[in-house]
Structure 1
Amino acid sequence: MNRTLYTALFYLGLPLVAIRLWLRARKAPAYARRIGERFSYGMPVMKPGGIWVHAVSVGESIAAAPMIRALLARYPDLPITVTCMTPTGSERILALFANEPRIQHCYLPYDLPCAARRFLDRVRPKLAVIMETELWPNHIHQCAKRGIPVALANARLSERSARGYGRFPRLTQPMLAEMSLFAVQTEAEARRLRDLGARAETVEVTGSIKFDLTIDPQLLERASQLRGQWQALERPVWIAASTHDGEDEVVLTAHRQLLDSHPDALLILVPRHPERFNSVYGLCLQQGFATVRRSSGDAVSANTSVLLGDTMGELLFLYALADSAFVGGSLVPNGGHNLLEPAALAKPVLSGPHLFNFLEIAAQLRSAGALQEVEDAEGLAVAVQRLFELPLDAQRMAEAGLNVMRANQGALQRLLDGLGRLIDR
């Protein structure tokens, strides 16, 4: 399949795209809004000539934030247009840069030549930066036609994704050859991209910018104060973050087992997707757990067994409230989520076995003794109980995680150097 056939199939598939939007809007009504932006219509007024950064959703937006702030500081005269594909990503971008007038935001239009042309005619960027793995052949081709360099930042490409791209060499090879920089996380990913058709001179191993996460000391102070207000400084607290459908039941089963030995234990449960907040709250009540929703503003009392993290933009703060952290998307075959956020907060890290999106990071944390993987509810309960009862073990895991973070920092600067060369060129 080449780009012409891909485009024809995309046009033919637009009714399916509309049905998918409608189905998503039934669960998350925000999907029914700003539909014109997805075709480059009704976009906000844009100041042209800056840098365009695309971050598909919440995780990529958070990962991109330090890079965007550094670009704002390095290029004070350039506007930065940040695009995404999801309402939650949009909310996060608007919250992260609420006080930055040079940040412009809209949804990225669908990968249709006409929509891509209209978008680029409005924004006219000097540089396009795509976060991680979101590759769209028509957007990239339209940039190449205009002489706009395209960089893939913090690039990751699993073996499974590489096999998927490899099935369509006549589409993938020309697309990758049109790009100017691949700032990849590991040598394995660099090899996969070269094998798929990226020009060797454009591929650089810069590491993961997620290691460059810096924690505001006030965050830890605020978390300690809130636990004091809850009278929970001595209470065992654990968090299960970014959970997916099928994991909440496992986490609650583990928590029930923990309550047998630690009846005052508090679980902070944070579903990954906002459209699941209500159903997970209902699940907690159905299973008999005294549950407080974070969004309600109600205080956690001695009787509270579960705090449901149903707010946006607070995940780091909720991690800071806990003594140990389970990272979801890993007990189900979703590939896991960012293990480095709790590690940066000096929390022992637990996960399930499905970590194919973070193989290198997981391997480093595992070999350092900073990560323990569990298979099921019983394994999770035993692991959390051990961390409650053996604080020296918990401290060793926390320090090991911090050491891995420190040893791998510098990726952000290497990425910025690469982007700088493209802008200056």
Structure 2
Amino acid sequence: MALFVYTCLCYLALPIGIVFHLLFVWRRAEFRRGFWQRYGWLPKKQHQPVLVHAASVGELNAITPLIEAIVSDLKLPVLVTTTSVTGQSRCQQLFADNDRVSWAYLAVDLGAANWLMLQRVKPRAVLLVETELWPNLITTCARKKIPTILVNGRLSARSAKAYGRLSWLVAPMLQKLTQLLVQDQAGGQRFLDLGAQASKVSVLGSLKYDLVIPDSQIDITSAAVPAGLCWVCGSTRSGEEASLLQAWAQLPPQIRGTLVLVPRHPQRFDEVADLCQQSGLPWLRYSQINYQGVVDVDVHKAHPRSILLVDAMGLLMHFYRRADVVFVGGSLADTGGHNPLEAAALGKPVLMGPNCFNFTQVCDQLEQVQGLRVTTNACLLEDITQLLTDQSLRDTMGAAGAALVDKQKGALKRHLLAIEATLEQVLGE
């Protein structure tokens, strides 16, 4: 009955959803690709792949080592689905040279769309990343006897409270999952409190610690960032850049260097460019560097305190390598924060705002070993001043964060063993 009510509400909202989808398609060309995929018409590029759904770039980055291990160790093809356009772009960057991995958009959570998607793809298993829990998709997989596994599962206290208001829908959905492979004990208990079966919940640790930092043969930052201190602010969200720019402008005069802003979403590049212009400090778009005559890059680089706006996707790790201090965005804004482990793995001191509920366990662990400092808008200027003027503190924090990442690795192997066991059990039935 609960699923019936949910499905009816979804179908009632469908006409409005289609109108908004068409508006997106009309206003932004990137939404035109894969239009029918969102309604179940996915391409048949692989024979019975493992379908892995990661909503956006953050989830995709975390799950990439597992995808690669499924292909290399289990010898199975993988279809990666996302919901965001940036997620699709990231798939192309990551897997363009791997003919065993394909990608598409996930169908909307309607029974007909899910049935069509599964009928076309015929996945041997469906892996849902972190909190990508869709009632109709899970129910349709259960009816088709397709193993459905939550991988790298996490559930914050805030999300658990929201799910608890829909317990009539959430509990039956969780009981239909084949396995829940979760990051930590607290999250596992929250899933149990919401109705998951204890026999299906396993605490395996976070895949985020098993991240692979690719070797970089070319330093793409040298043309844009001169010698001197470099403060990189990655995955910034609306409302954060103004605070970061204000702090940068108010630093003591002896601090010389470059502030690098890397917005989370490309549609905000122009908005952040306006903020840079309003700051009164010299600033430059990364995209301008390769166009001679547009700006005088040498004059820009010669200024004692300048700003670089990275208006391109997929370059964050390059700038993290160059950073002396990293601020991880989404944490001064009330959006839950983004993954600090990429910066920590590179041995960089990490600064984040107080809103880190998307990565509570990771941030707590980094803070406990003093690899991360939590700041606020009121304390931002004081904290960044101390970090930029104290190299010993930066070195100590960076080493502590890198050591924690190395110590916590191992969730990838545990996940792979659990998935392999489930697939073998299905084949044996």
Contact 1:113 1:138 in 2 (8 A): yes
For residues 146 and 222 of structure 1, what CA distance do their matches in structure 2 show?
48
The aligned runs of 1:98-137 (5 Å cut-off) are: 98-137=96-135
Contact 2:224 2:289 in 1 (8 A): no
The one of 182, 185, 193 aligned to 1:184: 182
- Deviation of 1:46 after TM superposition, in Å, equals 2.9
The residue that corresponds to 1:283 in the other structure is 275
The residue that corresponds to 1:140 in the other structure is 138
Residue 199 (str. 1) matches residue 193 (str. 2) = no
Residue 232 (str. 1) matches residue 226 (str. 2) = yes
- Deviation of 1:267 after TM superposition, in Å, equals 0.5
Change (3 A) 1:97 1:256: same
CA deviation vs aligned residue, 1:239-274 (integer Å, no higher than 9, x gap): 111111111100100110126342x32001011111
For residues 314 and 194 of structure 2, what CA distance do their matches in structure 1 show?
36
Change (3 A) 1:226 1:165: closer
Contact 2:347 2:399 in 1 (8 A): yes
- Deviation of 1:23 after TM superposition, in Å, equals 5.7
The aligned runs of 1:1-80 (5 Å cut-off) are: 2-22=2-22, 24=24, 28-41=28-41, 43-76=42-75, 78-80=76-78
- Deviation of 1:145 after TM superposition, in Å, equals 1.0
For residues 260 and 328 of structure 1, what CA distance do their matches in structure 2 show?
25
Contact 1:240 1:270 in 2 (8 A): yes
* Aligned partner of residue 15 in structure 1, secondary structure: helix
Which deviates the most, 317-326 or 379-388? 379-388
Contact 2:114 2:140 in 1 (8 A): yes
For residues 224 and 38 of structure 2, what CA distance do their matches in structure 1 show?
45
- Deviation of 1:287 after TM superposition, in Å, equals 2.2
Contact 2:246 2:279 in 1 (8 A): no
Query: What TM-score comes out, normalization by structure 1 length?
Result: 0.93
The residue that corresponds to 2:294 in the other structure is none
* Aligned partner of residue 43 in structure 2, secondary structure: coil
For residues 282 and 243 of structure 1, what CA distance do their matches in structure 2 show?
15
Change (3 A) 1:19 1:201: same
- Deviation of 1:226 after TM superposition, in Å, equals 4.2
The one of 87, 92, 95 aligned to 1:89: 87
The aligned runs of 1:302-313 (5 Å cut-off) are: 302-303=302-303, 305-313=306-314
- Deviation of 1:22 after TM superposition, in Å, equals 4.9
Residue 399 (str. 1) matches residue 403 (str. 2) = no
Residue 380 (str. 1) matches residue 380 (str. 2) = yes
**Which amino acid is the alignment partner of residue 174 of structure 1?**
P
Q: Which runs of 5+ in 1 are unaligned?
A: none
Equivalent pairs: percent with the same residue? 38
CA deviation vs aligned residue, 1:142-195 (integer Å, no higher than 9, x gap): 111111111111111111111222222221111111111111111011001111
For residues 24 and 346 of structure 1, what CA distance do their matches in structure 2 show?
40
For residues 105 and 386 of structure 1, what CA distance do their matches in structure 2 show?
44
* Aligned partner of residue 261 in structure 2, secondary structure: strand
Contact 2:74 2:420 in 1 (8 A): no
For residues 16 and 166 of structure 1, what CA distance do their matches in structure 2 show?
27
The one of 144, 153, 156 aligned to 1:155: 153
Change (3 A) 1:327 1:230: closer
- Deviation of 1:379 after TM superposition, in Å, equals 2.1
Contact 1:31 1:86 in 2 (8 A): no
* Aligned partner of residue 49 in structure 1, secondary structure: coil
Alpha-carbon RMSD:
1.9
**Which amino acid is the alignment partner of residue 371 of structure 2?**
A
**Which amino acid is the alignment partner of residue 62 of structure 1?**
N
Contact 1:127 1:422 in 2 (8 A): no
Contact 2:354 2:375 in 1 (8 A): yes
Change (3 A) 1:226 1:85: closer
* Aligned partner of residue 373 in structure 2, secondary structure: strand
Residue 215 (str. 1) matches residue 213 (str. 2) = yes
- Deviation of 1:39 after TM superposition, in Å, equals 0.5
* Aligned partner of residue 253 in structure 2, secondary structure: helix
Change (3 A) 1:415 1:231: closer
Residue 342 (str. 1) matches residue 343 (str. 2) = yes
- Deviation of 1:24 after TM superposition, in Å, equals 4.9
Change (3 A) 1:22 1:305: farther
Runs of 4+ in 1 over 6 A off after TM superposition: none
- Deviation of 1:31 after TM superposition, in Å, equals 2.7
**Which amino acid is the alignment partner of residue 189 of structure 1?**
G
- Deviation of 1:381 after TM superposition, in Å, equals 2.4
Change (3 A) 1:140 1:260: same
The residue that corresponds to 1:423 in the other structure is 423
CA deviation vs aligned residue, 1:253-300 (integer Å, no higher than 9, x gap): 0110126342x3200101111100111112212322322222334456
The aligned runs of 1:345-364 (5 Å cut-off) are: 345-364=346-365
Which deviates the most, 361-370 or 303-312? 303-312
Change (3 A) 1:327 1:27: farther
- Deviation of 1:360 after TM superposition, in Å, equals 0.9
- Deviation of 1:338 after TM superposition, in Å, equals 0.3
**Which amino acid is the alignment partner of residue 17 of structure 1?**
G
Contact 2:224 2:308 in 1 (8 A): no
Q: Which runs of 5+ in 2 are unaligned?
A: 291-296
Contact 1:258 1:265 in 2 (8 A): no
- Deviation of 1:28 after TM superposition, in Å, equals 4.6
* Aligned partner of residue 121 in structure 1, secondary structure: helix
Change (3 A) 1:231 1:125: closer
Give the count of matched residue pairs.
416
Contact 1:155 1:182 in 2 (8 A): yes
Change (3 A) 1:293 1:27: farther
